[in-house]
C-alpha cells in the first residue's frame, strides 16, 4: 500500500540531495516520477530543484492554489516527490495523503520549523497525517546535532524578522 512520507531536517541536512537521489533510483527502475516544489521557492530559478552539493533537476511547480488531487488525476505518475513541502498548505497536504491512500507513494522533504522554531503549516500537517516520519540528521557548526534552523547575521543568532529564504553562501 502506498504511503505518505515526510523526511525532515534542519537546513543543510541534505534533504534536497536525498530527494534527487530518490528520484534517480525510482527512474532507474522505470518508474515515472513527478519531482515538484512549491512555486514560492524561486531562489534557484523557478523550476530548478538544486542541492547545496550541486545535484539539480528541473521540477514541476506547485502553485499555492493548486488542487494536487485534481492535478494528479490529470497527470498520473508512479511516484510523487515534493521538495520544500513545508511551504504547502494544510489542504494540499491532505490532498497528497488522499493520493497516497488511493494511488501512489508520496515522498515529502522539508523543514520542520522556521528560524523562530515555529512549525510551518505544511510541516505541521505532515506531522499529523504522514504514515512515516524520518528525521534527516545534520551537524551544527558547534559540532553537535543540528536541532533547529538559525538565522545568523554578523556572527550572531537573529531571532526576529520575516521568514523567508536566506541561503548561506
CA distance 12 to 40: 19
Question: Which residues lie below 8 Å from residue 153, measured CB to CB, with a gap of 6+?
Answer: none
Q: What are the CA-CA distances from residue 148 to residues 5, 39, 114, 135, 161 (Å)? A: 21, 24, 8, 12, 16
**Among 27, 28, 70, 84, the one annotated catalytic:** 84
84 catalytic? Reply is: yes
**Rounded to the nearest 5°, which phi and psi values hold at 127?**
-65, -30
Active site residues: 84
Amino acid at each position: 500500500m502506498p504511503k505518505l512520507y515526510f523526511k525532515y531536517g534542519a537546513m543543510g541536512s541534505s534533504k534536497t540531495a536525498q530527494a534527487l537521489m530518490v528520484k534517480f533510483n525510482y527512474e532507474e527502475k522505470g518508474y515515472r516520477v513527478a519531482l515538484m516544489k512549491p512555486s514560492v521557492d524561486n531562489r534557484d530559478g523557478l523550476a530548478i530543484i538544486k542541492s547545496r552539493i550541486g545535484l539539480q533537476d528541473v521540477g514541476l511547480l506547485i502553485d499555492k492554489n493548486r488542487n494536487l488531487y485534481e492535478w494528479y488525476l490529470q497527470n498520473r505518475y508512479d511516484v510523487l516527490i515534493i521538495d520544500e513541502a513545508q511551504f504547502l498548505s494544510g489542504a494540499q497536504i491532505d490532498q497528497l495523503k488522499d493520493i497516497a491512500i488511493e494511488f501512489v507513494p508520496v515522498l515529502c522533504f522539508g523543514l520542520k520549523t522556521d528560524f523562530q522554531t515555529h512549525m510551518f503549516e505544511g510541516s505541521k500537517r505532515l506531522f499529523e497525517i504522514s504514515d512515516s516520519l524520518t528525521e534527516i540528521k545534520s551537524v551544527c557548526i558547534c559540532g553537535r546535532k543540528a536541532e533547529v534552523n538559525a538565522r545568523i547575521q554578523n556572527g550572531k543568532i537573529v531571532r526576529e524578522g520575516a521568514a523567508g529564504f536566506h541561503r548561506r553562501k
